[in-house]
Amino acid sequence: MTLDTGSLAMPMLRFPQFHGAPAWERMRLSELVQRSPEYGVNAAAVPYSESLPTYVRITDINDDGRLGSEPRVSVDIDSTEANYLEDGDIVLARTGASVGKSYRYRPHDGRLVYAGFLVRVRPDPASLLPGYLAAYLSSDAYWVWVRLTSARSGQPGINGREYASMPIPVPRGRLGLAEQRRVAECIESLDDLIAATGRKLDLLERHKTGLMQTLFPRPGENEPHLRLPGFRQSPLWRSRSAGSLFAQRSERGQPGLPLYSVTIAEGMVERSTIERNFYDIKAAADNQLVRQGDVAYNTMRMWQGACGVAPADCMVSPAYVVLAPKDDVHSAFFGYYFKTGPLLERLAAYSRGLTKDRLRLYYEDFASIPIVAPEWKEQVMIADSLSALDALVSASRSRLIALKAHRKGLIQQLIPHFPRDS
């Protein structure tokens, strides 16, 4: 691959102070760093110890270029200062499925030694700012280069020499560094917002998990540890068979109704929104009718929480069981209840099969399961509380997705695109 370092391009979007500034040029990374790319320590990780250097490996780096939250590890070597990352260093994965993944080191991450499957580059601050390079390393142009470069061998990989030849778009002229800094600050501020939104989403999800553990009884108990206001003096939850709560619906599907699948994570999902092929029969007469408010579950995965409440009349495959709620049953309550740990264990115990990958929960077995449940009004209150929390989780997740999409689009506009190298 040859690189025309004299080629020029203009970004689609520039900050006002750089209007009229020269076009950007494309340079090799080797022209913009203090020294040649360096490989890390070739040693295995050991359990974390304060007496040993902290070790950073490919697996410790998230897709967003930050250190993961997993417990840290150490490396048992006689380290020198050359083994440690310095402020502004960027490491790049050089082999395997994670090739191209990058991480920009910051001192608040602590003193870190980097592993041998990572390549360190140290930008020259006189020509390339670390924050700008970190932003570019998440661009589409960079990942196109990674795919093309790593595909040359059977095992995906990019060595230090190849990383040194990587083309980097940089603004020219006396304001070049200032424009790099402005791009970096813009993307970094978005990164901080994305990270904060991610933390909020994580807290909401953890809160929901903890709340469900207190709103539903533990094994052998007849009431939860937390009862919502208005029900704290109510009778204990009553034990009933699942068959007295739900009847089995066995009506045939109807033409024109949408076909749904049941997933562990999202409950009932319309098949037209799922990006995969389905090979089972879709003709209406060969599917099952599901009425709004019914609960459908996968016989093979009910013990893992593969059930959901129908948001509208629809159809499901004959592989599912469709439960029609009786008069004193609030389906949304049981949509949450059937995903709690203690009840999942009971669902597994009543399933047929010698091993977990062969378990099946048929309706006749489901109907015999004893379940403690409150009266209808308390079911509604619990379901509404969890549904409101779900709405917050969904809004936070949507905001996170939107921010990441905005970041990606902004990078494409702030950093110019050059024709593919030849």
Q: Is the Cα torsion angle 411, 413, 415, 419 positive or negative in sign?
A: positive
Whether the pLDDT of residue 191 is over 80: the answer is yes
Secondary structure letter of residue 352 according to DSSP: B
Question: What SS3 string covers 93-156?
Answer: ECECCCCCCEEECCHHHCCEEEECCEEEECECCCCCCHHHHHHHCCCHHHHHHHHHHHCCCCCC
- Say yes or no to pLDDT of 69 above 90: no
Is 280's pLDDT higher than 90?
Answer: no
* % of the chain residues with pLDDT over 90: 81
User: Are the CB atoms for 132 and 180 separated by under 8 Å?
Assistant: yes
Exposure string (b/e) for 298-336, b if CB count within 10 Å is 16 or more?
bbbbbbebbbbbbeeebbbbeebbbbbbeeebbbbbbbb
Confidence of residue 190 (pLDDT cuts 50, 70, 90): very high
CATH superfamily, domain 8-174, is: DNA methylase specificity domains (3.90.220.20)
Fold matches, 8-174 and 238-373: yes
Tell me what the pLDDT averaged over the chain comes to. Answer: 91
Query: What proportions of the chain, in percent to the nearest 5, are helix, strand and coil?
Result: 35, 20, 45
Q: Give per-residue pLDDT as tens, 88-136.
A: 999 999 988 899 999 999 999 999 999 999 999 999 999 999 999 999 9
Angle between helices 376-414 and 176-215 (to 10 degrees): 170
What's the pLDDT score for residue 1?
A: 37
Taking residue 178's Cβ as centre, other Cβ atoms within 10 Å add up to 16
* Phi, psi angles (nearest 5°) of residue 125: -60, -10
Query: For residue 139, is pLDDT > 90?
Result: yes
- How far is residue 387's CA from residue 330's CA, in Å, rounded to a whole number? 13
Q: 32-46, pLDDT tens digit by residue?
A: 999 999 999 999 999
Q: Model-level pTM?
A: 0.84
Q: What is the pLDDT of residues 208-225, one digit of tens each?
A: 999 999 999 998 899 999
pLDDT of residue 271: 85
From the list 314, 322, 319, 274, the residue with the least C-alpha distance to 299 is 319
What is the percentage of the chain residues whose pLDDT exceeds 70? 94
> Does residue 356 surpass a pLDDT of 80?
no
238-373 carries CATH number 2.60.120.620: no
* Residue 333 banded pLDDT, cuts 50, 70, 90: very high
pLDDT at 2: 37
The predicted structure's pLDDT at residue 227: 93
Where along the chain do its domains lie? Answer: 8-174, 238-373
pLDDT digits over 157-183, tens only?
999 999 999 999 999 999 999 999 999
195: alpha, beta or left, given left = phi > 0 and alpha = psi -120 to 50? alpha
